[in-house]
Structure 1
Amino acid sequence: MTDAHPDEEIINRSTRNGWLIISARFISDFGAFLNMVALSTYVYVLSQSVMQVSIFLACRVTGGILASLFGVPYFRRFTGRLPLVILDVLRAALLASLLIFPYSVQIYLLPFIALGIGIGNSMFAIGLNSQLPYWVDDSRRVATNAWLTSASATGAVMGSMVSGILLAANGYELVFITNILTYLLAGLSILPLRFLVTPAGVEKKNQRKEWSNLVKGLKTAPLMAGMLLVTMADTLGSAAHNVGFPVISELLTSESPGKTMGLLLAVWAGGKFAGARAANYLLLKRGIRTERLFFYGVALMSLGFILTFQQNAVSLALFFIFFAGTGDGLADVSLISRIQSEVESLRLPIFSLITLLQMTGFGVGMLIVAPFYIWLTPSVVIIIFHGIPLFTLAFVWLYIRRRQRSH
């Protein structure tokens, strides 16, 4: 046996692990968007109440917030593929309850199902992203992250489209069965994963100590802290354009707003796919720093959405939303790759913090943004709320420049 064989085995295992993780992420996100569309409408069908739909969505966001708090102790105590498989089985079991219990009981179960699925979706993403360096070697990490972002965008659009098709053709029961199968398939994709190297044990700390160490770590990494600050500001812009999609679709084509919204989301996802592939090239081939590409991506994304909402023609709106999606893909791959380069003791808390910022910011943002669409035109609302991440980005850039000069 030659000395090259162990290295070759590591490379083969890393490649196999990468494609298994990409497959699991695609299936998981496909399932997440499948049930987001189906369950939201199902709640309304059962209750005939917009308030019940709001409670359902609030429970789902609350689940994501709780996951950011539970994620650190859970994945400190349980590492590897089994905790992720358990999350998939639990999500499938929650949906299976809708096939077991009668309609009269389901309306009371749905908020708890939304909470559980919100926790499961976010915990799955935290565990997968934070442990990826154990499964994929450094040379393939950026490429894997690029494919993960591409798979996520594709899964989101396909899940939304398939959900609508199945609902129109066969009703909710088939959607729930399909969704259960997607979560079980995601779990099966995770099962063959094997660590490249068994992770070294990390000192177990209480939750307060974890967050305290994270704050200390971010003080010594101002660029990483700046990326998190921009990410938090960007959640307000994200809330603004998500609330605004139905509004702008109605203004562009009052006769078929649903079709226009579907086109906008599909082209955005195509842009995100292109951005993820471009990030792979720019980070690996051109050697651009992850922090710089992240800031470029956020700027392109916010400017793209601002320009999209200024248009009166569908063709121009689709043109600009493609660039918004491209920026989203660049920023997503850069941010995840940068966090994964941190030491293990900080990596998991940062991913949990990112989830906390995104879920909290998005939930609060939805509440803040909605009244602005009553008072102002969509074009002005988007300028205001996507102007916030642009302003934050400029502030972080000036602060870092000033800090570098002083040193």
Structure 2
Amino acid sequence: MLRFRLLVTSYAVSAYGNYLNLIALSLFSYEVTGTAFGIGAVMAVRLVAGVVAGPVAPVVGARIGRRAVMIGADAAQAVAMAGLAVGGEGTPLWALGCAVLVLGAGNTFFGVALRSAVPVMVGQEGRAHANGLLVTARSLATVLGFASAAPVIAHGGYGTAFAVNAASFVVSGAAVLVLRPRTEEDAPAPAEPAASVPGLPWSGVPALLLGLVALRGTDALASSSHNVALPVVAELAEAHNPALYMSRFWAAWAVGTVLAHQVLKRGGRARGERAFALGTCAMSCAFVLAFTGLPAVALVVAAAAAGFADGWTEIVYTSRLQAAADRERGRLFGLSATAEQGGFALGTVLAAAALESLSPLTVVALFHGAAVCGALALLFTTRPSRVDRKTTGRRYTGERPMSEKPSEGEATHGTRTGDGRLPGA
């Protein structure tokens, strides 16, 4: 586990650079393009690259190995950011476009490879705890990245911010290269029949898993609304210092995600789809509550509750997909990356348009209402039947002891994942 903890540390460094870069790249895009539309176009290129890379990442990983994919993704992103750091304010628009294209695809390639390799690194029984460590590392990196963006840019300019991001990718890639984590199963999986290898990424995926991925995509769409609306609310609530408002919000959110990991690792069970659906409901309600004009203390509590539910759902969801057989995990996480990035991209456009005529609370409530409806639908479809109760004598909870590995039938058929996402997405 020590080797994995070192890998998590390097992942946190990379995540810090990503969130620092998220602020720097947005401001830099405005300087290069000169318009707000340009900022949106640059972000769209990055998101679309991540969506397209989703189904490609598991195919590449199966051919060259997940560890090679992780190293290659970090190396490509490091080169892209180093190019922007050297070019500085004289960077042409086409070079900026190429860089964000590499960032979007690289984040997806790395994320799919890492998430699908976790059960190989730590074993099925340790995957929930490992996912919790990754979520905790990313949450802390989010706060530090956002908090340090302003002073880094103010004192060193965009070139320094980009150089720091490039260095963070070097640290991450070097850690994977030196630590050489085990990312592939020892025994090669038997080849699937030709009929089970369809052209569409979702073909052959069990309906329950498709429901989980669809809800995750809906959650990403909903989360885009509070990411877009929060700066507007911060400006209205504390016009003298909106950055402080946002920092307080995201710091409380990060504390909540850390607490979720602490609770789940003491639970002793790998939670299932019902826990994921309930967590999605709780997260959406907490985010909506945070936009109702609460006083400062109550806002911190609501943000922490949203973070707790956010961390809970991510750990549960990722662990659930990782219960699938090794040969299936890459495809599941590739499909998940496409759903998450696609949902967030669509939601960002729709939420920004809706804010032109609706209040932030209304927009956030509408978007998160869709996530609640999806979660309730999943809860309804997974509720225990009377036959199950009579046969087993107990309620089905969708959970299994964390020490219990999935059976061959379960793993093969998938009984149960930026990562360049924004926080709370």
Does residue 262 of structure 2 align to residue 277 of structure 1?
yes
The answer as to whether partners of 2:271 and 2:320 remain within 8 angstroms in 1 is no
Given residue 235 of structure 1, which amino acid in structure 2 is its aligned partner?
A
Deviation at 1:82, TM superposition (A): 2.6
Q: More deviation in 23-32 or 328-337?
A: 23-32
Kindly tell me: are residues 296 and 49 of structure 1, through their superposed partners in 2, closer, same or farther at Cα, counting changes over 3 Å? same
Q: Residues of 1 paired with 2:197 and 2:338: CA distance?
A: 17
Q: Residues of 1 paired with 2:3 and 2:53: CA distance?
A: 25
Deviation at 1:210, TM superposition (A): 5.2
Deviation string 1:44-100 (CA, Å, 9 cap, x unpaired) is 123322122111111110121122021121111011423211211111111111244
Deviation at 1:236, TM superposition (A): 2.1
Q: Residues of 2 paired with 1:155 and 1:293: CA distance?
A: 26
Q: Residues of 2 paired with 1:336 and 1:157: CA distance?
A: 22
* Higher helix proportion (structure 1 or 2): 1
In the other structure, the counterpart of 1:290 is 272
Given residue 188 of structure 2, which amino acid in structure 1 is its aligned partner?
G
In the other structure, the counterpart of 1:369 is 351
Q: Which runs of 5+ in 2 are unaligned?
A: 389-425
Does residue 322 of structure 2 align to residue 340 of structure 1?
yes
Deviation string 1:245-268 (CA, Å, 9 cap, x unpaired) is 011212222222121112111111
In the other structure, the counterpart of 2:379 is 397
Deviation at 1:288, TM superposition (A): 6.1
Deviation at 1:385, TM superposition (A): 1.0
Does residue 162 of structure 2 align to residue 180 of structure 1?
no
In the other structure, the counterpart of 2:409 is none
Q: Residues of 2 paired with 1:253 and 1:103: CA distance?
A: 31
Deviation at 1:146, TM superposition (A): 0.6
Deviation string 1:14-34 (CA, Å, 9 cap, x unpaired) is x13321331232122112112
Deviation string 1:355-374 (CA, Å, 9 cap, x unpaired) is 10011111111111222222
Q: Residues of 2 paired with 1:344 and 1:214: CA distance?
A: 17
Given residue 119 of structure 1, which amino acid in structure 2 is its aligned partner?
A
Alignment of 1:135-284 (within 5 A): 135-191=121-177, 192-195=179-182, 198-202=185-189, 203=191, 209=197, 214-219=202-207, 222=208, 224-282=209-267, 284=268
Deviation at 1:194, TM superposition (A): 3.5
Deviation at 1:333, TM superposition (A): 0.5
Kindly tell me: are residues 371 and 177 of structure 1, through their superposed partners in 2, closer, same or farther at Cα, counting changes over 3 Å? closer
Deviation at 1:206, TM superposition (A): 9.0
Q: Residues of 2 paired with 1:185 and 1:20: CA distance?
A: 11
Kindly tell me: are residues 210 and 26 of structure 1, through their superposed partners in 2, closer, same or farther at Cα, counting changes over 3 Å? farther
Given residue 247 of structure 1, which amino acid in structure 2 is its aligned partner?
V
Q: Which runs of 5+ in 1 are unaligned?
A: 1-14
The answer as to whether partners of 1:20 and 1:190 remain within 8 angstroms in 2 is no
Q: Residues of 1 paired with 2:234 and 2:50: CA distance?
A: 28
TM-score of the superposition, structure 1-length normalised?
0.88
In the other structure, the counterpart of 2:393 is none
The answer as to whether partners of 2:128 and 2:270 remain within 8 angstroms in 1 is no
Does residue 77 of structure 2 align to residue 91 of structure 1?
yes
The answer as to whether partners of 1:67 and 1:119 remain within 8 angstroms in 2 is yes
Identity of aligned residues (%): 24
The answer as to whether partners of 2:136 and 2:257 remain within 8 angstroms in 1 is yes
Does residue 307 of structure 2 align to residue 307 of structure 1?
no
Q: Residues of 2 paired with 1:213 and 1:372: CA distance?
A: 32
Q: More deviation in 51-60 or 309-318?
A: 309-318
Deviation at 1:181, TM superposition (A): 1.0
Q: More deviation in 342-351 or 207-216?
A: 207-216
In the other structure, the counterpart of 2:402 is none
Q: Residues of 1 paired with 2:262 and 2:307: CA distance?
A: 12
The answer as to whether partners of 1:217 and 1:346 remain within 8 angstroms in 2 is no
Kindly tell me: are residues 165 and 350 of structure 1, through their superposed partners in 2, closer, same or farther at Cα, counting changes over 3 Å? same
**SS of residue paired to 2:266:** helix
Q: Residues of 2 paired with 1:205 and 1:306: CA distance?
A: 47
Kindly tell me: are residues 406 and 99 of structure 1, through their superposed partners in 2, closer, same or farther at Cα, counting changes over 3 Å? same
In the other structure, the counterpart of 1:10 is none
Kindly tell me: are residues 48 and 150 of structure 1, through their superposed partners in 2, closer, same or farther at Cα, counting changes over 3 Å? same
Deviation at 1:304, TM superposition (A): 0.5
RMSD: 2.3
In the other structure, the counterpart of 2:116 is 130
Q: Residues of 2 paired with 1:145 and 1:213: CA distance?
A: 24
Deviation string 1:243-297 (CA, Å, 9 cap, x unpaired) is 1101121222222212111211111111112112222222x2xx36332322232
Q: Residues of 2 paired with 1:371 and 1:194: CA distance?
A: 44
Q: More deviation in 189-198 or 236-245?
A: 189-198
Kindly tell me: are residues 370 and 88 of structure 1, through their superposed partners in 2, closer, same or farther at Cα, counting changes over 3 Å? same
Q: Residues of 2 paired with 1:63 and 1:315: CA distance?
A: 39
Alignment of 1:41-120 (within 5 A): 41-101=27-87, 103-120=89-106
The answer as to whether partners of 1:211 and 1:349 remain within 8 angstroms in 2 is no
Given residue 227 of structure 1, which amino acid in structure 2 is its aligned partner?
L
**SS of residue paired to 2:307:** helix
Q: More deviation in 178-187 or 367-376?
A: 367-376
